[in-house]
Chain A
Amino acid sequence: MAKFKKKTKTSENIPTSALPDIIFMLLFFFMVTTVLREQDILVEQKLPQATQLQKLEKKTLISYLFVGKPKNTNLYGTEPRIQANDVLINTKDIILWVNQEKDKLSEAERDQITISMKADRDVKMGPISDIQFELREADARKLLYASTGKVQN
């Protein structure tokens, strides 16, 4: 019995003094990787699912268009609308918007601009094809249908 008692004398506490440091490291990791949304999204965004996804490499070349039913239906109605930057725009304003986005890029990269179209899955093809037509007019032909992954069957 005496022998057993001796053993229990060794400390059984796990040293927790390094715990805050570990947590801080995790914290810094998430702080650095976090991209706080710079813009409010005014339209509904339930991205469709697809399997054949490709990643875009150069983030600076990407401009985003959000398409979907407005969240604030009292103000903007229920028809799908296009959001560029912070505002809802009309289809015919897309050319202007593309040119503004192109001006932000350097001269050599202008024709490489890629439009990432984040369209809600409930949007019909009519508005989508109108947007595509305008993008062709604006000579921004690289288009990405943003979508989320799905397990291939």
Chain B
Amino acid sequence: MAKGKNRTSQEVNAGSMADIAFLLLIFFLVTTTIASDKGIQNLLPPKQDPNVEPPEIDLNKRNIYNILINANDQLLIEDEYVENTDLLSEDIKDFLLNFGAPDEEAVALFNSLPQSLKARANRDPNSSDHPMNGGAVVSIKTNRGTSYEKYLEVLDQVKRAYFEIYAERVGLTSDQYRALTGKNPAEKALIDKGKEGIPLAISIAEPDKIGGN
């Protein structure tokens, strides 16, 4: 009789273990949100002192690339109505690298550029003087009723123009350049080399009251 009892298996049936684990796995697969902190970086200007008037900076009109987005999400770029943003980044690259009236420093910068970027210099006297400090500025102005999506789309294209210039200077693709973290000195040197002399000059104007609240 005792022998008969012993015959019953004493192992726990582990066959369904895989199924249980599968269920748990599927649960975590579904609930998991791989946290992504990706986005477009922007540095806001410092706060204004109400007692001090904002400094008047004289910029020639030719040095400002004007982008207006109205409350209907229509674009006015350099006083021309534009349907979409497809050509915007190329146009901005041409504007930034125009070198219409370069001073000595800007000539040195121009000489340091790779051939593909030099080719963009049209020397148009009605476009920007040089991309250095005090030179070309991209200005984005919106209405309060402009959609955030459109604004970001335009900002995205402006950033794209800059990043493609930076990346080209260090011989990377734009994606690779943006992936640089600056954690080690070699990457930091690459980032700085790309940016050197061409500051990210994006001016975001205070939106006016049209179409919003």
Contacts and interface: CB of A to CB of B under 8 A. Distances in A.
A, B in one complex: yes
Interface of A: 16, 19-20, 23-24, 26-27, 30-31, 33-37, 48, 50-57, 59, 62, 79, 116, 119-126, 128-129, 132-133, 135-137, 139, 141-149, 152-153
A53 B25 contact: no
Contacts of B212: 124-126
Contact of B37 (A116, A149, A152): A116
A126 B213 contact: yes
Contact of A50 (B21, B31, B39): B39
Contact of A124 (B14, B35, B146): B146
Contacts, number: 158
The interface residues of chain A, by DSSP majority, are classed as: mixed
Contacts of B149: 48, 121-122
B32 A53 contact: no
Interface string B25-55: 1001101111111111111111110000000
B43 A119 contact: no
Interface stretch (B97-105, B106-114, B121-129, B156-164): B156-164
B33 A35 contact: yes
A35 B163 CA distance: 32
Given A59-B35, A146-B39, 20 more contacts: A20-B18, A30-B28, A30-B29, A51-B156, A52-B163, A54-B41, A55-B179, A56-B37, A57-B181, A122-B148, A123-B147, A124-B147, A125-B142, A125-B143, A126-B145, A128-B148, A128-B151, A132-B44, A136-B48, A141-B46
A50 B145 contact: no
Contacts of A33: 32, 34
Nearest to B158: A52
The interface residues of chain B, by DSSP majority, are classed as: mixed
B24 interface: yes
B155 interface: yes
A23 B152 contact: no
A145 B42 contact: yes
12 contacts: A27-B25, A31-B28, A48-B149, A52-B160, A52-B174, A54-B39, A122-B148, A124-B146, A125-B147, A132-B44, A145-B152, A146-B38
A23 B25 contact: yes
Contacts of A128: 148, 151
A88 B73 CA distance: 28
